[in-house]
Amino acid sequence: MKPSIESKTARSILTKGTGFLHGYSHTLNPYAGCAFGCSYCYVRRMPISLFREEDWGAWVDIKENATDLVKKEIPKARKKGRVSIFMSSSTDPYQPVEHKTHLTRGLLEAMIEESPDFLFLQTRSPLVTRDIDLLKQYKNKILVSMTVETDLESIRKIFAPSAPPIHARLKAIQQLRSEGIPVQAAVAPLLPCSEQFPLKLAEVTDRLTLDDFFMGDGSGGKRTEQLGIRKLFEENGLNDWYDREAYLKIKRRLQEVFSENAIYISQEGFYPPKGSDC
Ligand code: SF4
């Protein structure tokens, strides 16, 4: 089902980084709402979603003035200190509507001029590769983080049926790496996967972050419980995976194919990398 899409004028575009993202001075969401509508998305339980009539995933607001705002707000923010930006915390900047709007692309162009100290670009869409020409210009002041929760399409279709296929995400990571753009695979949240998953990741990336529903939901797993994710595991005979120890099994396998300093766990994988001076 296609989401309902509206253009809106936003009052501001940079939001103070807090909670899980307190390592950033700001977060930046070019859109409100997200057409990927992942079952486990915590934004479902946030006021922005609860106050809407439509279900999460069924609506997207385009912040049409986002680029103008960022040009004004970054210089102002810089007067108060370093500007490190997490894009995006409650939407995907490369969801399908971005094909038409080029809003995220416009923001990347504007931010090259305004030059934040660091930009963390979180997505699960291969569309990010469209903007390789701009991403290159950020040099080491950017990290693209591509979510790859599993290597199994059958599992993706249970938990995130509207999100891009896994093979296309792995290919995008490989392409970004080959173009010299700092990139990581974010196995976050970890979903049931095959024995070969670590090897498939090692073929495309030198850095990865592993997170799960218990470490990464900011409440020790309570928010995930409220979303009813346990039921999805049970209905599909995946109970063994809904366990706070499950990630350790995958971590051990990852350690066999990645060096220790290439693996980040939970929050540390979403911080500005060491050496970025943020
Ligand atoms: S892509 Fe991210 S923001 Fe969008 S629904 Fe999935 S988890 Fe939520």
pLDDT tens digits, one per residue of 261-275: 999 999 999 998 776
Q: Which of 20, 41, 270 to mutate to test the pocket of ligand 1 (most atoms within 8 A of CB)?
A: 41
Percent residues over pLDDT 90 in the chain: 89
Provide the pLDDT for residue 20.
Answer: 84
Averaged pLDDT of the chain: 95
pLDDT digit string (tens) for 91-109? Answer: 999 999 999 999 999 999 9
Q: Give me the residues paired with residue 187 across strands.
A: 210
**Sequence-ordered list of residues with C-beta below 8 angstroms from that of 120, at least 6 positions apart, any chain:** 24, 84, 85, 86, 87, 142, 143, 145, 270, 272
User: Which protein residue's CA is at the shortest distance from atom 5 of ligand 1?
Assistant: 37
**Sequence-ordered list of residues with C-beta below 8 angstroms from that of 141, at least 6 positions apart, any chain:** 115, 116, 117, 118, 119, 276
Dist CA 120 CA 112 (whole Å): 14
CA 79 to ligand 1 centroid distance, Å: 32
Between the alpha carbon of residue 166 and those of residues 30, 45, 54, the distances in Å are 24, 26, 27
